[in-house]
Every structure is written in structure tokens, then in C-alpha cells.
Amino acid sequence: MVFSSTLLENAVNEFAKLPGIGKKTALRLVLHLIKQNEKEVRFFSESIAKMRAEIKFCSRCHNISDKELCNICSNTLRKQEILCVVETIRDVIAIESTQQFNGIYHVLGGIISPLDGVGPEQLQIDSLIERVQLEKCNEIIFALSPTIQGDTTIYYISKKLKGVPVKITTIARGIAFGGELEFADEMTLAKSISNRIPVENYIVTGS
Amino acid sequence: MVFSSTLLENAVNEFAKLPGIGKKTALRLVLHLIKQNEKEVRFFSESIAKMRAEIKFCSRCHNISDKELCNICSNTLRKQEILCVVETIRDVIAIESTQQFNGIYHVLGGIISPLDGVGPEQLQIDSLIERVQLEKCNEIIFALSPTIQGDTTIYYISKKLKGVPVKITTIARGIAFGGELEFADEMTLAKSISNRIPVENYIVTGS
């Protein structure tokens, strides 16, 4: 792409560094910003710089936060004895959006994946074990990807927690609401049959 | 979406205002920026604010520019007597990228489209007529969209230029290189037959 302005070129190149944004999309975004008034664009630019400069990670659950402790950890109305273990901050946002979970979180920062060079020491596993032992924790819910890596991580952490009096569960796998049986993969369908639930429970939770 | 940090929320909301970017994509972009080092993110943010604050439009061709006259208009090596009329700045970038055009441009800022409330007075048509009359202009090449609106604009401007000794042309329409005949629309195919070119010319320009 040939630009008649270095200011334009710099802005396009910066946008094109973002994941999933190519040069053409970057140009479209920049031309959109040119049409906006200067104050709005300054607000856009400042909110990004400020976010990067001031963002913290919660010292307890490693979720993104404005303060030392995140809103979720410091909320005394939430059940501090139920801990949901997730891979990333994105999973916290997804679960929070359901408004169905009232416990607290622990963000691992990934899952054990030797092929990608991610071992237990790169993840927040030690701090999880420590939390479970120190804090009054009744239940750990694993909400990890249903992959070999996710299962390995669950297995590894469960083994580490052997002897610690805590209930360990994982979120239910099965056919999604609105999902059609004929298009489900065999593994999911098989698991959804072996882990079948009494209809009374289904009606309470599903409707 | 429920966020545990207002800094994160603000940044995501700002990104989600951009065209074609929803909340989920915005979150992905922001989480990517959080992983980058602070200096890089500041550079990203500053390049956008600076671009918006300092960008100008060339007083002659209305292309985007850093100075009063854009790089193309002020380049004395370019043929100042061949004028290519385009809709938007994006078209200038597209044509420049071909490295086949050595004249100068005139950016209309859109095309005549009464249904969208765009009449000749909203476009840079008067300044085009003025330029053609004042500057030593030999040829005007219309590179507009092949739509009714584009054709209307060409017709309107051509009529305004009646009596002015200037050659008026439009870019060739036809089957694109790599395009398959059977998938071409009838209009394009019909035009490409009626506007056929001698094979000598084709070999010179097409190979």
C-alpha cells in the first residue's frame, strides 16, 4: 500500500499489528477515525494508553483489576469458599455474564501443554494449591477447555491436592441447549448419556 | 459482558465503537494490547491521536496529506496535465499501489446519489471544474464505481465541462484477470465484447 501521508501510514501500520486486522481493515478503521471529531479520537487513544499503564492483576485470583484485589475477590457478598478455576480472564468474563456463579475465581493463565512449552511452573498452579490450603475452601470447580490439555491440567492439580479436604468438580459436558443430536460429536454424545441427570434436576436448572 | 475493571471496560467499549468490531473482538484486541509492553501501546495510542490532530486535506486534490499540498500534487516528476477523478482517498491508495498511474488526482468525496441525499454541491465538483479550467489539464480519467450513481456523476461533470478543450475518459470495464467467463455478469460480459481491444494492445498492457 502506498500512502500520501506518513501520519496516515503510521496509524494504519499500528492498527495492522493487532491480531486479525490486516492492512485493508486497518485503513478502514483509520479513515473512520479521521471522520470522527478530534475529542472523541483523543478519548479513544487515551483510554487505551491509560488502561495499559494502570491495569493490575489481582494478587489473589490473577484476574484483571484496577486495584490490588479485584472487584470479585473483594466482594464480601460472594461465597469465598467456592473457587472456580479457569484458563484466562476471558473465561471469567464469560462466566460472570451468565450471572449464575456466586463464588470466586482463580485464573491459571493457560493450561498444561508440553507441546507448546507450557508446564505447571508457567501457570498459577502453586498459588492455587496455596490458596486452597490457606483459605477456607470447600469446593473447586474446574471450568477448563474439554481437551487433552485441559484434562491433564485437572488431573495434575487434583493429584497435588490429594489429602486436602476439598470437593473437586468440573463443569458439565453435554449437548448444548439448541444443539441438535445428529450433529453432536460421538464423544460428547456418549458422555452426555453416561452422565445423564434425573429429570427433576434438569427441570430445576434448565428452565 | 461483565468486567472486573473499569479501565478494561472503557478500552473495550472504545474499540467496539469502530466499524465492524463487536464487543468480543474488542475484548480480544484489548487483551492482546495488555500483553504488549507499555511503550508499544503508548506508541499505538499516540500515533492515532497525532494522526487525527495533525492530518490535513490537500488544498488542491483533497487527498489526505501531512502538509498544505499532498506528496502527489507537489511531486514535479508526475504529469500534472493528467487528472484522475476518484470517489475517496481509498481509491487513491488502490491506484497508487498499482504503480501504473503517473498523473495527479482529484478526490470528489463521494458520488452523486440523490437517494442518500448527496448532490453535486456536497462533492468537490466545483473545485474540479475550476482546476480543469485554470490548470493546464489535457485529460480527465474517471475512476468511479461502475454503478448508476457513478455513471450519473460522470455524465454530470462531463456536461459541466462542455466546451472545455479536455479529453474525458473512464477506466476500462471488462472481465478481471483470473476471472472466469461463465461467472461474469451479463452487463460486464456484453461491455467487454463491445469494447474489445486489438490483441497487440492487450499484449503490451496485459502481460
Indicate the DSSP class of residue B115: G
CB B31 within 8 A of CB A57: no
Q: Which three cell numbers stand for residue B46?
A: 499516540
Indicate the DSSP class of residue A207: -
The tens digit of pLDDT for each residue in B14-38 reads 999 999 999 999 999 999 999 899 9
Q: Angle at CA B144, nearest 5°, toward B143 and B148?
A: 145
Chains A, B: CB contacts within 8 A come to 169
Domains belonging to chain A, first-starting first, are: 6-54 (1.10.8.420), 76-171 (3.40.1360.10)
Sign, CA dihedral B20-B23-B24-B29, equals positive
Interface probe, candidates B48, B69, B74, B105, chain A, greatest A C-beta count within 10 A: B48
CA–CA distance, B3 with B12 (Å, rounded to integer): 10
- Which of B8, B27, B51 is facing A11, going by the closest CB pair? B51
CA–CA distance, B157 with B150 (Å, rounded to integer): 11
Kindly write down the DSSP assignment for every residue of B161-181, as one continuous string: TTTS--EEEE---SPPTT--G
Report strand pairing: B64-65 vs B82-86. Answer: unpaired
The tens digit of pLDDT for each residue in A119-148 reads 999 999 999 999 999 988 999 999 998 889
CB B170 within 8 A of CB B129: no
Residue B93 burial (CB < 10 Å; 0-12/13-18/19+)? buried
- CA-nearest of A92, A89, A13, A17 to B33 is A17
Contacts of residue A10 in chain B, CB cutoff 8 Å? Answer: 47, 50-51
A3/B32 touch (CB, cutoff 8 Å), yes or no: no
Q: How far does the CA of residue A153 sit from the closest CA of chain B (Å)?
A: 23
B42/A65 touch (CB, cutoff 8 Å), yes or no: no
* CA atoms in the 13 A half-sphere facing the CB of A184: 17
Give the global pTM: 0.78
For A161-166, which contacts have Cβ atoms below 8 Å and span 24 or more sequence positions?
A: A161/A129, A161/A132, A164/A132, A164/A133, A166/A132, A166/A137, A166/A138, A166/A139, A166/A140
Indicate the DSSP class of residue A39: H
Helices and strands in chain B: count of H runs, count of E runs: 8, 6
- Which of A14, A31, A55 is facing B5, going by the closest CB pair? A55
pLDDT at A190: 84
CB B112 within 8 A of CB B156: yes
CA–CA distance, A60 with B4 (Å, rounded to integer): 14
Contacts of residue B19 in chain A, CB cutoff 8 Å? Answer: 28-29, 32
CA–CA distance, A110 with A62 (Å, rounded to integer): 12
Q: How far does the CA of residue A105 sit from the closest CA of chain B (Å)?
A: 12
Residue at A70: amino acid letter: C
pLDDT in tens, chain B (207 residues): 788 888 999 999 999 999 999 999 999 999 999 989 999 999 999 999 999 999 999 999 999 998 899 989 999 999 999 999 999 999 999 999 888 899 999 999 999 999 999 999 999 999 999 999 998 899 999 999 888 999 999 999 999 998 899 999 998 888 888 878 888 888 888 888 888 877 776 665 544
pLDDT in tens, chain A (207 residues): 788 888 999 999 999 999 999 999 999 999 999 989 999 999 999 999 999 999 999 999 999 998 899 989 999 999 999 999 999 999 999 999 888 899 999 999 999 999 999 999 999 999 999 999 998 899 999 999 888 999 999 999 999 998 889 999 998 888 888 878 888 888 888 888 888 877 776 665 544
Residue A117 burial (CB < 10 Å; 0-12/13-18/19+)? exposed
- CA-nearest of A172, A207, A178, A177 to A192 is A172
- Which of A6, A42, A54 is facing B7, going by the closest CB pair? A54
The values of phi and psi at residue B106, to 5°, are -145, 115
Q: How far does the CA of residue B176 sit from the closest CA of chain A (Å)?
A: 20
Cross-strand bridge partners of residue A107: A86
Q: How far does the CA of residue A70 sit from the closest CA of chain B (Å)?
A: 7
